[in-house]
Chain A
């Protein structure tokens, strides 16, 4: 196993190919739940959790079940189905055995059942032909990237809320503008991975 490759995958998922800020997936919770740090962190932890679980389940299904039978094109519909059922199952299990975690994740767990970032990461794993370990690393990295984006953005939003933008920009417009600026900032990570680890 190439440890360097795993680090490369991880770093590029967190910084360069950040799901929210570079690939524009999972924008809905990014704008909706980023109003304060606590909610943003709760949502992000739930996303990391679900991304890992979803990858662990969907990767074997695609590689061992769908592709050998020549029905790999069913990837989207099967993944949606499996992820939705999985999250539901996890919720039931948590409610029974780990109520503390259930309360902590709270409403966010069902919210991200069909989040496009979760579906995106599982499909990306297949498209990039990652091995299982690589896929899990990518899922963790993507989740951490989501976490990073949420935490940064909730901080920025805190500043925006307390400042006084021009009248016509108050509310959603200024939020979208600041999201765009953070996205531009993340473009600065272009080429960082190649520079650090070589290609």
Chain B
């Protein structure tokens, strides 16, 4: 009995001493947080998406107040949040480039040939482990929606085995870019320029057998482009966005129609 009492008492006493010590320490050594950090934090959307390059909204608010971080880094917040924070901090507001995510693949289930009946775990990263996926083209969209699951704004859905992004909902956080195991999603300026939505680097004939929407490296668009904005890299056309004037000529000549505009320009809308 005595042993039990002794043991219980000593552990209780030690625990109690530790508790008192911690309580006193937290009172004596409390660090008063900067009030401005809290206020800046409240202006931020709180998506904790990390698009600003900091660990989250809290870290970004701290960096804005204490480390003179730029006020325009919050992409989901856009220009409104940037100007609000700039006004609060008393600095000049920068203009935010409005970015959206773009899927660089047009191979839906109609266009892309399948080569196996996959019945394993229904995620892109799982299916990619199995010889690079169920599609004959291993560069394209795997279609199980890892990006859709990761998107904080439900801006991505899978239709006919292809990820599609609703640009009105996209906040530009680039989480899907990091999630996609095939790296076919990129961030793009939300302006009207052409883009070749195919990542296949195989020879044209091989690509054509696998996917009717893939770039077959025919170089028609390269010859057609009046601005010399299109070049061939690894058997696929690449558009230099700085040169593109979105005239729409490349779209007209493109056989598989894998050239699309990141925002539909007036000329093409009229033609369609």
Determine whether the beta carbon of A93 is less than 8 Å from that of B25.
Answer: yes
- B10 contact set on A, CB distance < 8 A: 65-66, 69, 71, 74, 78
**A90-101 interface mask toward B, CB cutoff 8 Å, 1 = contact, 0 = none?**
001101110000
**Across the interface, do B14 and A71 meet the contact criterion of CB distance under 8 Å?**
no
Sorting the interface of chain B by its residue count into under 10, 10 to 19, 20 to 34 or 35 or more gives 10 to 19
Contact B22 A92 (CB under 8 A): yes
In the bound complex, residues from chain A placing their C-beta under 8 Å from that of B121 are none
* Complex: A63 Cα to B72 Cα, angstroms: 59
Determine whether the beta carbon of B18 is less than 8 Å from that of A71: no
Q: Which A-chain residue is minimally distant from B6 (CB atoms)?
A: A71
> Complex formed: what's the CA distance from A96 to B10 in Å?
31
The answer to whether A88 and B29 have CB atoms under 8 Å apart is: no
Contact A81 B18 (CB under 8 A): yes
Contact indicator A96/B11 (Cβ below 8 Å): no
CB distance from B66 to the nearest CB of A (A): 11
List residues of chain B with CB within 8 A of the CB of A93: 25, 29
Tell me if A85 is interfacial: C-beta within 8 Å of chain B.
yes
Task: State which of A78, A96, A167 has its C-beta within 8 Å of the C-beta of B29.
Answer: A96
User: What does DSSP make chain A's interface, helix, strand, loop or mixed?
Assistant: helix
Q: Which A residues lie within 8 Å of B116 (CB)? A: none
- Which residues of B7-40 have CB atoms within 8 Å of chain A's CB atoms? 7, 10-11, 14-15, 18-19, 21-22, 25-26, 29-31
From B3, B31, B130, name the one whose CB has the most chain A CB atoms within 10 angstroms.
B31
Identify A95's interface contact among B14, B31, B129, CB under 8 A: B31
Distance in Å: Cβ of B8 to nearest Cβ of chain A: 10
- CB of A82 within 8 A of chain B? yes
In the complex, per-residue mask of A4-30: 1 if CB is within 8 Å of any chain B CB, else 0: 000000000000000000000000000
Indicate if A89 sits at the interface (CB-CB under 8 A): yes
A161 interfacial by beta-carbon distance below 8 Å: no
